[in-house]
Structure 1
Protein backbone atom coordinates (compact mmCIF):
# COMPACT_ATOMS: atom_id res chain seq x y z
CA UNK A 1 0.00 0.00 0.00
CA UNK A 2 1.46 3.36 -1.04
CA UNK A 3 1.45 6.04 1.62
CA UNK A 4 1.25 9.73 0.91
CA UNK A 5 4.15 11.96 1.92
CA UNK A 6 3.98 13.07 5.56
CA UNK A 7 0.48 11.63 6.00
CA UNK A 8 1.03 8.04 7.10
CA UNK A 9 -2.67 7.37 7.65
CA UNK A 10 -3.79 8.50 4.19
CA UNK A 11 -2.83 6.39 1.19
CA UNK A 12 -2.21 7.77 -2.29
CA UNK A 13 -5.25 5.89 -3.69
CA UNK A 14 -7.44 7.36 -0.92
CA UNK A 15 -6.09 10.86 -1.61
CA UNK A 16 -6.82 10.40 -5.32
CA UNK A 17 -10.34 9.20 -4.52
CA UNK A 18 -11.04 12.19 -2.29
CA UNK A 19 -9.66 14.60 -4.89
CA UNK A 20 -11.73 12.99 -7.66
CA UNK A 21 -14.85 13.34 -5.50
CA UNK A 22 -14.07 17.02 -4.87
CA UNK A 23 -13.44 17.61 -8.60
CA UNK A 24 -16.70 15.88 -9.59
CA UNK A 25 -18.67 17.88 -7.01
CA UNK A 26 -17.20 21.17 -8.23
CA UNK A 27 -17.85 20.30 -11.88
CA UNK A 28 -21.48 19.55 -11.01
CA UNK A 29 -21.75 22.89 -9.24
CA UNK A 30 -20.15 24.69 -12.18
CA UNK A 31 -22.55 23.06 -14.64
CA UNK A 32 -25.53 24.08 -12.51
CA UNK A 33 -24.30 27.66 -12.27
CA UNK A 34 -23.67 27.89 -15.99
CA UNK A 35 -27.06 26.36 -16.80
CA UNK A 36 -28.85 28.81 -14.53
CA UNK A 37 -26.75 31.85 -15.43
CA UNK A 38 -29.30 33.13 -17.94
CA UNK A 39 -31.97 33.16 -15.24
CA UNK A 40 -29.88 34.49 -12.35
CA UNK A 41 -27.75 37.46 -11.45
CA UNK A 42 -24.93 37.33 -14.03
CA UNK A 43 -22.39 39.04 -11.77
CA UNK A 44 -23.01 36.61 -8.91
CA UNK A 45 -22.98 33.60 -11.26
CA UNK A 46 -19.70 34.78 -12.77
CA UNK A 47 -18.10 35.20 -9.33
CA UNK A 48 -19.30 31.75 -8.22
CA UNK A 49 -18.01 30.12 -11.42
CA UNK A 50 -14.63 31.84 -11.01
CA UNK A 51 -14.35 30.59 -7.41
CA UNK A 52 -15.15 27.03 -8.49
CA UNK A 53 -12.57 27.22 -11.29
CA UNK A 54 -9.94 28.31 -8.72
CA UNK A 55 -10.80 25.28 -6.57
CA UNK A 56 -10.53 23.03 -9.64
CA UNK A 57 -7.04 24.44 -10.23
CA UNK A 58 -6.16 23.67 -6.59
CA UNK A 59 -7.48 20.12 -6.99
CA UNK A 60 -5.36 19.60 -10.10
CA UNK A 61 -2.28 20.87 -8.24
CA UNK A 62 -3.03 18.48 -5.37
CA UNK A 63 -3.27 15.58 -7.85
CA UNK A 64 0.18 16.58 -9.10
CA UNK A 65 1.49 16.54 -5.52
CA UNK A 66 0.11 13.02 -5.04
CA UNK A 67 1.89 11.95 -8.23
CA UNK A 68 5.24 13.46 -7.22
CA UNK A 69 5.05 12.30 -3.59
CA UNK A 70 4.77 15.72 -1.94
CA UNK A 71 1.05 15.56 -1.11
CA UNK A 72 0.44 16.06 2.60
CA UNK A 73 3.50 18.27 3.13
CA UNK A 74 2.97 21.97 3.83
CA UNK A 75 4.31 23.97 0.90
CA UNK A 76 5.52 26.72 3.23
CA UNK A 77 7.16 25.02 6.24
CA UNK A 78 7.44 21.44 5.00
CA UNK A 79 5.73 19.89 8.02
CA UNK A 80 3.01 17.33 7.60
CA UNK A 81 -0.53 18.54 7.06
CA UNK A 82 -2.74 16.66 9.54
CA UNK A 83 -4.79 13.90 7.95
CA UNK A 84 -7.92 15.39 9.50
CA UNK A 85 -7.32 18.62 7.55
CA UNK A 86 -6.76 16.69 4.32
CA UNK A 87 -9.97 14.73 4.90
CA UNK A 88 -11.92 17.99 5.10
CA UNK A 89 -9.93 19.92 2.48
CA UNK A 90 -8.10 17.34 0.36
CA UNK A 91 -6.45 19.99 -1.81
CA UNK A 92 -4.93 21.91 1.14
CA UNK A 93 -1.47 23.29 0.36
CA UNK A 94 -0.60 24.47 3.85
CA UNK A 95 -0.81 23.35 7.46
CA UNK A 96 -3.22 25.38 9.60
CA UNK A 97 -0.46 27.56 11.09
CA UNK A 98 0.94 28.54 7.71
CA UNK A 99 -2.52 29.05 6.24
CA UNK A 100 -3.32 31.50 9.05
CA UNK A 101 -0.11 33.45 8.29
CA UNK A 102 -1.01 33.99 4.66
Structure 2
Protein backbone atom coordinates (compact mmCIF):
# COMPACT_ATOMS: atom_id res chain seq x y z
CA UNK A 1 0.00 0.00 0.00
CA UNK A 2 1.34 3.43 -0.91
CA UNK A 3 0.23 6.64 0.70
CA UNK A 4 0.40 9.61 -1.62
CA UNK A 5 0.62 12.59 0.67
CA UNK A 6 1.98 14.98 -1.95
CA UNK A 7 0.21 18.31 -2.35
CA UNK A 8 1.03 21.40 -4.32
CA UNK A 9 2.70 23.11 -1.34
CA UNK A 10 4.74 20.03 -0.39
CA UNK A 11 7.64 18.42 -2.22
CA UNK A 12 6.50 15.25 -3.99
CA UNK A 13 6.84 12.46 -1.49
CA UNK A 14 5.37 9.01 -1.40
CA UNK A 15 5.29 7.30 1.94
CA UNK A 16 5.00 3.56 1.96
CA UNK A 17 3.11 1.77 4.68
CA UNK A 18 6.45 0.35 5.79
CA UNK A 19 7.94 3.87 6.17
CA UNK A 20 4.91 5.01 8.15
CA UNK A 21 5.09 1.97 10.42
CA UNK A 22 8.77 2.68 11.11
CA UNK A 23 8.00 6.29 12.02
CA UNK A 24 5.12 5.28 14.26
CA UNK A 25 7.20 2.59 15.96
CA UNK A 26 9.95 5.15 16.57
CA UNK A 27 7.39 7.54 18.09
CA UNK A 28 5.98 4.77 20.28
CA UNK A 29 9.42 3.73 21.53
CA UNK A 30 10.35 7.35 22.25
CA UNK A 31 7.14 7.88 24.23
CA UNK A 32 7.57 4.65 26.16
CA UNK A 33 11.08 5.78 27.12
CA UNK A 34 9.66 9.14 28.13
CA UNK A 35 6.99 7.48 30.25
CA UNK A 36 9.59 5.30 31.98
CA UNK A 37 11.70 8.37 32.74
CA UNK A 38 8.69 10.22 34.15
CA UNK A 39 7.68 7.31 36.33
CA UNK A 40 11.24 6.80 37.58
CA UNK A 41 11.49 10.49 38.45
CA UNK A 42 8.76 10.20 41.08
CA UNK A 43 11.21 10.94 43.88
CA UNK A 44 12.41 14.14 42.24
CA UNK A 45 9.15 15.97 41.38
CA UNK A 46 5.67 16.48 42.72
CA UNK A 47 3.15 13.70 42.24
CA UNK A 48 0.73 16.05 40.46
CA UNK A 49 3.28 17.08 37.86
CA UNK A 50 4.30 13.49 37.24
CA UNK A 51 0.67 12.44 36.85
CA UNK A 52 0.10 15.15 34.23
CA UNK A 53 3.26 14.23 32.35
CA UNK A 54 2.42 10.53 32.41
CA UNK A 55 -1.13 11.21 31.20
CA UNK A 56 0.20 13.30 28.29
CA UNK A 57 2.57 10.54 27.22
CA UNK A 58 -0.17 7.91 27.52
CA UNK A 59 -2.45 10.09 25.33
CA UNK A 60 0.22 10.18 22.60
CA UNK A 61 0.67 6.41 22.87
CA UNK A 62 -3.08 5.99 22.33
CA UNK A 63 -2.90 8.31 19.29
CA UNK A 64 -0.04 6.22 17.89
CA UNK A 65 -2.11 3.04 18.29
CA UNK A 66 -5.01 4.73 16.49
CA UNK A 67 -2.63 5.76 13.69
CA UNK A 68 -1.59 2.12 13.27
CA UNK A 69 -5.30 1.23 12.99
CA UNK A 70 -5.82 3.95 10.34
CA UNK A 71 -2.82 2.61 8.45
CA UNK A 72 -4.33 -0.88 8.54
CA UNK A 73 -7.78 0.26 7.37
CA UNK A 74 -6.43 2.54 4.63
CA UNK A 75 -7.45 5.90 6.10
CA UNK A 76 -3.99 6.97 7.32
CA UNK A 77 -3.05 10.40 5.99
CA UNK A 78 -6.65 11.53 5.47
CA UNK A 79 -7.95 14.36 7.66
CA UNK A 80 -10.81 13.21 9.87
CA UNK A 81 -12.26 16.73 9.80
CA UNK A 82 -12.42 17.61 6.11
CA UNK A 83 -11.43 14.40 4.35
CA UNK A 84 -8.50 15.94 2.49
CA UNK A 85 -4.98 14.52 2.42
CA UNK A 86 -2.82 15.59 5.34
CA UNK A 87 0.37 17.20 3.96
CA UNK A 88 3.46 14.99 4.06
CA UNK A 89 5.35 17.61 6.09
CA UNK A 90 2.75 17.46 8.86
CA UNK A 91 2.86 13.66 8.88
CA UNK A 92 6.66 13.86 9.07
CA UNK A 93 6.42 15.94 12.24
CA UNK A 94 3.38 14.22 13.78
CA UNK A 95 3.04 10.80 12.18
CA UNK A 96 0.06 10.04 14.41
CA UNK A 97 -1.97 13.17 13.59
CA UNK A 98 -5.61 12.77 12.61
CA UNK A 99 -6.14 16.18 11.04
CA UNK A 100 -4.74 18.83 8.74
CA UNK A 101 -3.56 22.10 10.27
CA UNK A 102 -6.73 23.97 9.33
CA UNK A 103 -9.06 21.48 10.98
CA UNK A 104 -6.81 21.26 14.04
CA UNK A 105 -6.87 25.04 14.43
CA UNK A 106 -10.64 25.15 14.09
CA UNK A 107 -11.06 22.47 16.78
CA UNK A 108 -8.77 24.18 19.29
TM-score by length of 2: 0.88
How many residue pairs match? The answer is: 100
Structure 1, unaligned runs of 5 or more: none
Report the Cα distance in structure 1 between the residues aligned to 2:5 and 2:73, rounded to whole angstroms.
Answer: 14
Report the Cα distance in structure 2 between the residues aligned to 1:89 and 1:39, rounded to whole angstroms.
Answer: 30
Partner of residue 3, structure 1: 2
Partner of 1:73: helix, strand, or coil? coil
Equivalent runs, 1:43-82 vs 2, <5 Å: 43-82=48-87
TM-score by length of 1: 0.94
Equivalent runs, 1:31-46 vs 2, <5 Å: 31-46=36-51
Greater RCO (Cα-Cα under 8 Å, separation 6 or more): 1
Structure 2, unaligned runs of 5 or more: 7-13
CA RMSD of aligned residues (A): 1.0
Report Cα offsets for 1:42-63 as digits up to 9, x if no partner: 1111100000000000000000
How big is the shift at 1:83?
Answer: 0.5
Q: Which runs of 4+ in 1 moved over 6 A?
A: none
Partner of residue 18, structure 2: 13
